[in-house]
């Protein structure tokens, strides 16, 4: 009997709990439509008016055939702030790729060589980020080590001396590194 009462109590608590946002409540956009799905949140933290949001997304890894979660996070950062009313002039993101992460900015012909002919699933997001003014940097040291040339990457991707130097420059400009 005690077990039945316990199960009834659990069911009552579960039925009264608010439902979490499911995947169908997340939408892409309003700025980057190729990735970065977000949902509305009843937040207790007010976003400061007039704040410049500066985030530097570090991308050291890649998985063949999959959207990179850190590139997706850059799109989500932009989308959630824009959807919350922050003007684009106050949203500043940068993406810094190094080590294995370089694969995710390869153009489709170079990516196909590493993925049994599959196209780069990150290409559309990278192109949209660049089109919205987000700098996407490649670590020059990693690129040299991997024999990746400027002609091998998506147009608009910038080569830096290294990931370390570009991270330091961005931090000096007020960017926070994510993660």
Quick: pLDDT tens for 110-135.
Answer: 999 999 999 999 999 999 999 999 99
Contact by Cβ (8 Å): 37, 25: no
Domains along the chain with CATH numbers:
28-38+52-178 (3.40.1260.10)
Query: Tokens for 67?
Result: 């959207």
Q: Whole-angstrom Cα distance, residue 101 to residue 58? A: 9
Contact by Cβ (8 Å): 143, 159: yes
Using left for φ > 0, alpha for ψ between -120 and 50, and beta otherwise, residue 53 falls in beta
Quick: pLDDT tens for 76-100.
Answer: 999 999 999 999 999 999 999 999 9
Angle of CA points 68, 71, 72, to nearest 5°: 85
Query: pTM of the full predicted structure?
Result: 0.86
Quick: pLDDT tens for 60-75.
Answer: 999 999 999 999 999 9
Quick: pLDDT tens for 25-55.
Answer: 899 999 999 999 999 999 999 999 999 999 9
Q: Whole-angstrom Cα distance, residue 32 to residue 79? A: 6
Segments of 27-146 assigned E as strands: 53-59, 91-97, 136-139
Residue of higher predicted confidence among 163 and 13: 163
Q: Which residues contact 72 (CB under 8 A, 6 or more apart)?
A: 35, 36, 125
Neighbours of 62 (CB within 10 A): 23
Check pLDDT > 60 for residue 5.
Answer: no
Q: Which residues contact 156 (CB under 8 A, 6 or more apart)?
A: 126, 127, 130, 131, 136
What Rg, from alpha-carbon coordinates, does the chain have?
20
Inter-CA distances, 4 with 39, 81, 132, Å? 37, 47, 57
Quick: pLDDT tens for 140-170.
Answer: 999 999 999 999 999 999 999 999 999 999 9
């Amino acid at each position: 009997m005690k077990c039945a009462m316990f199960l009834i109590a659990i069911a009552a608590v579960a039925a009264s709990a608010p439902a979490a946002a499911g995947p169908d409540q997340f939408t892409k956009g309003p700025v980057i439509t190729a990735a970065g799905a977000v949902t509305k949140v009843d937040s207790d933290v007010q976003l400061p008016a007039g704040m410049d949001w500066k985030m530097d997304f570090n991308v050291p890894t890649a998985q063949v055939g999959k959207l990179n979660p850190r590139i997706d996070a850059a799109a989500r950062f932009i989308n959630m702030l824009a959807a919350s009313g922050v003007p684009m002039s106050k949203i500043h993101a940068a993406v810094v790729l190094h080590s294995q992460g370089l694969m995710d900015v390869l153009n489709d012909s170079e990516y196909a060589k590493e993925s049994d002919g599959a196209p780069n699933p990150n290409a559309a997001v990278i192109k949209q980020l660049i089109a919205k003014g987000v700098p996407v940097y490649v670590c020059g040291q990693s690129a040299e080590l991997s024999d990746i040339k400027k002609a091998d990457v998506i147009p608009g991707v910038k080569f830096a001396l290294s990931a370390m130097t570009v991270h330091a420059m961005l931090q000096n400009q007020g960017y926070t590194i994510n993660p």
